[in-house]
Structure 1
Amino acid sequence: LQEQVIASEKLSTLGILGTGFAHEIKNPLTAIIGLIQLLQKPDIDLNTQENYLNIISKELERIKDLTNQFASLGKPTLFKRKSCDIDVLIKNTVALVKNHALLHNIEIKYENKKNSLKTEVDESQIKQVLINLLQNAIDAMQEGGEITVSLDFNEETEQIKIMVQDNGVGMTAKELESISKPFFSTKERGIGLGLHISYQIIESHGGKIRVNSIKDKGSTFTLYLPAYSQQEGI
């Protein structure tokens, strides 16, 4: 009986990990498929073609990194922290999601209140968080609309502040209480792992996520990151 319980727990864990992997790998795959479709247009110019191919290459590298992360579960994980210009990271991420948003009649605007903000982060993981938030915002705006991404810096707390604001369906107070829990989703076909993983990534970087939302009005996700790395990794 004990062996059966252990085997059952192993299968359950394997199922959870498989679901998480499928969820996280879906975003870069969706971007790659969309860009390949654009590359097949007969009137595409060489510069645009090269730009799309560069993005596809980077997204394939991200899939490789995700695969390595899941293959290394259970082992101590060291973040690939390096100096990063957050402004450039956000611009690149917005550019990646922008075409997908336009297909849903959604415009993404980026506001930078500081010329340049640098800190030490794992770029791939922070990019993963931003894509999750932008994709959630797109999914919440079935009638189209506008997403605003802004970058600022709090001098008193020495924290980088990134806001992702939408005017979508919003959430109730009860839904907000469960937003960071695994397998909780407000989407009809949502898996409920994207935000849970995002919270873990930001907290592991010494930061935090705060959410404000009003039902039928929209949601605002605010990421706070330290100006400098507070830990070497986990």
Structure 2
Amino acid sequence: ESNALVNISLALSETEKIGLKNVLQLIVNSARELMPNTQQAVIHMLDAENQVLIPAAVIGYENFVEGKRKMRLGEGVAGQVIASGETINIPDVETDARFVKLGIPPAFRSLTVAPVQSGDQKLGTISILSSTPNAFSQREVQLLSALGTQAALAIENAHLLESIQQSLKETNALYRINQGLASSLQTDELLKETVDLLQKSFHYYHVQIYVADSESGNFVARAGSGWTGDALTAQKYSLAPGEGIVGYAAETGTPFFTNHVDQVVFFTRNPLLPDTKSELAVPVKVGDSILGVLDVQHIPPHDLTQRDIQLVSTVADQLAIALQNANLYEELQISLQHEKAIRNQLVQNERLAVMGRLLATVSHELNNPLQAIQNALFLLREERGISLQGKQDLEIVLAESERMAGIIERLRSTYRAPQPQDFQFTQVNDIVQDVLALITTHLRHNQVSFHFDADPSLPMIPALADQLRQVVLNLLMNAVEAMTDGGQLTVTTRALPDQAEILLTVSDTGSGIEADILPNIFDAFVTNKLRGTGLGLTISYDIVIKHRGRITAENNPERGSTFSVWLPLENREVI
């Protein structure tokens, strides 16, 4: 006995190396060896949640299945031992009333069952059986109780070791998750890293993070583990507040978990996760604001425990801070981009203002000598003795000088500060039709088809009609020139009452705008045309700004480019 107990004690000290299963097997082997009349011995471990005793180590059973049979609490002598915490010795099952026959004659006559417990914690039982009545003496009953204590120590050591290992694993995972969350400000990246790390570290069936959608109010799958998570994220799978366990946690703002999802009335099973038995959903929130939900699902034989709740709740808290920081970073980036766009627009406006003043000065200075030239030409035309050829040449010079005077006057009017009374209510659809009438022949010669998608309810706007006509003409001519091999030119007008604006777009199917000049397309002298001056779009931009509108240029996804012009419905303060 002493040698056997010493061997068991040594095994207990090396449970980490030997393993709980081998230690328990050593104990049942020792039981049969120390008590000669023992024919079978078995250690049952208690499954407290399911209220059953599960065989953990057996010896002496010819029928392996019989030795591995589970017993419900309350069944037989083992159930009585669990309830009382005392060892029970049945000298003869045929005559002892404590042994309840279940219809099948037992294959043994003697039975002794001792509790396996640590303090008040019931862990299971250890039993020895014999086909001989009165097989076990009081000394052997005491010895079996001692072996039960040894089994309890082995189980406690194993649980302690398992707890330590689990704690180390959780600490390591939390550290890695925290490091990942702290080092990344990209929302999608940090969410994906979190779910992958949770799934790989703790072997959950599935991990998914849902993020609140400000528009719909639903919680949308943003990142998930494995291909299932990628599929749910790709299809933007969502749950409304109160829908499913995720929706319930989001609506109540508290964690919810169950190991029996089919017993939860509001559980919603996803077809991509057919085997889920356990689910834990923890809100990701900052204060009273719920940013999302961290959802963990598991399958048999695994159950979720209080440790899982603590772990996932801790990750959710870290995730909330990281999401808040990422959202702040994204908002900061948007603000910086907006500030940069405003700064660029101010620089552009200043450039245009300088160019406008320059052109106004140049046009004024050119106008004086041009008028002198025109006056001289008019006098020369009245002279006698000029040949027919000379008169024809003189008429050409006069016509060109008048055209030059018209160009100078348009430049002066374009860059002359407008007055509120100069703006007249204008129908942009009519302006497009007027410009189309001017360029129809040009379109036909260049094999360009034209489509005008006009909004019939387009309201009139306060505008300088001649200058808007110049803008439309510039945009259409540029579009035609971009389609060297012909193509499709599409003009669209739309009313935007919610924005108190109208929208005019001009799209072509040409070669598009080169990437290096697109950001500066409205700057003066920026062009990719061999014979262009690079002033047409600059003047158009200035005219639109003068109307308190906006103009943008972008390349189409497939081919060509689109210019968009927004003009206000009201006569705002003019520039």
Q: TM-score, normalised by structure 2?
A: 0.29
CA apart distance, 1:212: 1.3
1:123 aligns with 2:459: no
Structure 1 equivalent of residue 428 of structure 2: 86
Name the amino acid aligned to 2:449.
Answer: E
Residues 71, 114 of structure 1: alpha-carbon distance in 2 compared, 3 angstrom cutoff: closer
Is 1:224–2:566 an aligned residue pair? Answer: yes
In structure 2, the partner of 1:205 is: 547
Alignment-mate amino acid for residue 567 of structure 2: L
Secondary structure in 1 aligned to 2:499? coil
Q: Contact 1:149–1:164 at 8 Å: present in 2 too?
A: yes
1:217, 1:74 → 2: CA distance? 35
5+ unaligned residues in a row in structure 2: which ranges?
A: 1-357, 367-401
Contact 1:207 1:224 survives alignment (8 Å): yes
Does the 8 Å CA contact 1:151/1:161 hold for their aligned counterparts? yes
Q: 1:4-52 CA distances to partner (integer Å, 9 max, x unpaired)?
A: xxxxxxxxx57x957xx9xxxxxxxxxxxxxxxxxxxxxxxxxxxxxxx
Cα distance between partner residues in 1 of 2:519 and 2:572? 27
Q: 1:218 to 1:92 in 2, by over 3 A?
A: same
1:196 maps to 538
User: Which moves more between the two structures, 101-110 or 67-76?
Assistant: 67-76
Q: How large is the Cα RMSD of the aligned pairs?
A: 2.9
Which residue does the alignment assign to 2:496? 154
Determine helix, strand or coil for the equivalent of 2:516: helix
The Cα of 1:167 is off from its aligned counterpart by 0.2
Aligned residue among 156, 166, 181 for 2:523: 181
Q: How does 1:19-58 map to 2 (within 5 A)?
A: none
Q: 1:125: Cα distance to partner?
A: 0.3
Tell me how far apart the structure 1 counterparts of residues 537 and 552 of structure 2 sit (CA, whole Å).
Answer: 12
Task: Specify whether residues 225 and 185 from structure 1 end up closer, same or farther in structure 2 by C-alpha distance, changes over 3 A only.
Answer: same
* 1:173 positional shift: 2.6
For each residue in 1:80-100, what CA deviation from the matched residue of structure 2 results, as whole angstroms up to 9, or x when unmatched? 310111221211112221221
1:54-65 alignment to 2 at 5 Å? 64=406
Q: Is the contact made by 1:106 and 1:145 (CA closer than 8 Å) also made in structure 2?
A: yes
The structural deviation recorded for 1:215 is 8.9
Aligned to 1:40: none
Q: Deviations over 1:42-89 (max 9, x none)?
A: xxxxxxxxxxxxxxxxxx99x84x532435688644473101112212
User: SS in structure 1 opposite 2:531?
Assistant: coil
Question: Helix, strand or coil for the counterpart of 1:156?
Answer: helix
| AA of the residue aligned to 1:89 | I
Specify which of 466, 469, 479 is matched with residue 137 of structure 1: 479
Query: Structure with the greater relative contact order (CA < 8 A, sep ≥ 6): 1 or 2?
Result: 1
Which residue of the partner structure matches residue 509 of structure 2? 167
State the match for 1:70 in structure 2: 411
CA contact (8 A) 1:207 1:223 kept: yes
Q: Which residue matches 2:450?
A: 108
Shift of 1:213: 0.9
Moved over 3 A (4+): 69-79
**Worse-matched range after superposition: 216-225 or 118-127:** 216-225
CA distance in 2, matches of 1:109, 1:72: 31
Deviation readout 1:94-125 (Å, 9 max, x if unpaired): 22212211111111111113334201100000
One-letter amino acid of the structure 2 residue matched with residue 70 of structure 1: L
| d(CA) in 2 for partners of 1:175, 1:214 | 15
Q: Is the 8 A contact 1:170 1:216 kept in 2?
A: no
Which shifted more, 212-221 or 157-166?
212-221
Matched residue SS, 2:567: strand
Q: Distance in 2 between matches of 1:68 and 1:195?
A: 19
Whole-Å separation in 2 of the counterparts to 1:118 and 1:187: 34
Q: Secondary structure at the match of 1:209?
A: strand
Secondary structure, aligned partner of 2:479: helix
* Structure 1: stretches of 5+ with no match in the other structure: 1-12, 22-59
Q: Matched residue of 1:174: which SS?
A: coil
Alpha carbons of structure 1 residues 72 and 128: separation in structure 2 relative to 1, 3 Å: closer
